[in-house]
Amino acid sequence: MPNKKLCAGAVIVAAGRGARMNTDINKQYIEIAEKPILARTVEVFESCRHIDEIVLVVNESDIIYCKQNIVDMCGAVKVKTIVSGGEERQASVYNGLCEIDKACDVVVIHDGARPFVTHKIISDSIEAADRYGASCVAVAVKDTIKAGDKEGFISSTLERSVLWSVQTPQSFRYRLIMDAHIKAAEEGFYGTDDAVLVERLGVRTRLVMGSYENIKITTQEDLVAGEAIVRSREARHRKE
């Protein structure tokens, strides 16, 4: 991190229903190794010294449950507020951004369903956003990626060396990401992540190395992978 003290806020988005998980409860509250996914995510940001405040974005019907069973149980004093999400992820992020302290230099946007993010990834993301304006955590693509045409045939093989699988956090100077969201809303544009909104303003986004452990819990198979990550980390910790 740079020598100067940055004010950094985090928007953790956990408003999705998680239909692909096929469970009776929202996926953010499913347990991995006896701890809710969202609790694991919040704990990482709570304990990260570079994060000054946290805004949680959840389904409106989950606000009280989240306060009692995630924030209070974790003792998360950095959580400034819990706000309701919108119809789309983009609207949910904007709702969270509106609650971030305007004095923050950088805002970190993270998926609540990515509980295995690390302090280093967060701090690297903040540093890059402070320097370049925008940063996006990603990992190099391992597989060969091919483009297909409308008839179901391969149209081209993409150059793997320049392809990245995007993760979160994505971090931005606060005013920049607010302007990007406002412009997108005015023009009716919906992106699949926040970086694309900034790209539309002509701002280059700095890639920050993530981790193959920084998975998003989306399906039942991801829960199995998550349990394995927890066991692996616990084993590494015992050896240290």
Please report the pLDDT score of residue 51 as a whole number.
Answer: 98
Please count the residues of the chain. Answer: 240
- If one counts the domains in the chain, the total is 1
Strand partners, 84: 58
Please report the pLDDT score of residue 69 as a whole number.
Answer: 95
Is 24 a residue whose pLDDT tops 80? Answer: no
Q: φ and ψ at 63, to 5 degrees? A: -60, -50
Residue 177 lies in a domain: yes
pLDDT band for 240, please (50, 70, 90 cuts).
confident
> Mean pLDDT over residues 25-29, rounded?
85
With a CB cutoff of 8 Å and minimum separation 6, the contacts of 174 are 9, 97, 100, 102, 104, 105, 106, 107
Residue 148 lies in a domain: no
Residue 187 lies in a domain: yes
Determine the Cα–Cα distance for residues 99 and 15; give it in Å rounded to an integer: 16
Residue 131 lies in a domain: yes
Q: What is the pTM of this model?
A: 0.94
pLDDT band for 19, please (50, 70, 90 cuts).
low
Residue 238 lies in a domain: no
Determine the Cα–Cα distance for residues 12 and 169; give it in Å rounded to an integer: 9
Residue 88 lies in a domain: yes
Q: Which residues of 11-24 are buried (b: 16+ CB within 10 A; e: fewer)?
A: bbbbbbebeebeee
With a CB cutoff of 8 Å and minimum separation 6, the contacts of 196 are none
Residue 160 lies in a domain: no
Residue 183 lies in a domain: yes
Give the pLDDT confidence of 162-174 residue by residue, as tens digits.
999 999 999 999 9
- The CATH number given to whatever domain includes residue 56 is 3.90.550.10
Is 212 a residue whose pLDDT tops 70? Answer: yes
Which domain range does residue 124 map to? Answer: 8-137+165-232
